[in-house]
Amino acid sequence: MQVKEAIEQRRAVKHYDATHRMHEGEIEQLMSLAQLSPTAFNIQNWRFVLVRDPQLRQQIRAVSWDQAQVTDASLLVVLTADLRSWEKEPARYWKNAPQPVQDFLVPVIGQYYGGREQVQRDEAMRSCGMAAMTLMLAAQAMGYDSCPMDGFDFDAVGKLINLPQDHVVAMFVAIGKGTKEAWPRGGQLAPDEVVVQDRF
């Protein structure tokens, strides 16, 4: 499938075949593609929590407005981010780069994020958003449907997955075999309303 087709065909599907199981190879492929998502300074701050325990899925569904896709999709990915990834051995993010590149970039990481908690959080959300889109388009190309989700109690989910204190939950992506088509598109705004040339 071409990228254009995946973008055009991807929809937020709410109903899934609860009996369908993704093969381990498919999950590994999906996650390896997700890891190609961009992050600033290559800090790779996303952490993908694959919720596979049926009991845990039920508990998460209970704090997610009882949305069926939480339990019925083949895979539930809780996208989280390590807010402090920028200071955890930052040299490893550039270990394969030429030494002059390492010498320049590694110190800059700390200078950019140090003491800037809002920037750290903003970066986490940007990174997880890009990773979520990568997951959804990759799933579409693999013949799966998906649904991005934020309708849940973030604190309750954090407790259920033992979220570390220096991490944050960004969103879910449910992935599986849809059983009902998504609602018709609600209608896109006119391009001249959303595309701005140079200045507002």
Domain ranges in the chain? 3-194
- Residue 1: per-residue pLDDT: 84
86-144 pLDDT, tens per residue? 999 999 999 999 999 999 999 999 999 999 999 999 999 999 999 999 999 999 999 99
Residue range 3-194 forms a domain whose CATH class is alpha beta
User: Is the overall model pTM greater than 0.75, yes or no?
Assistant: yes
**Alpha-carbon distance 160 to 63, whole Å?**
10
The mean per-residue pLDDT over the stretch 169-180 comes to 98
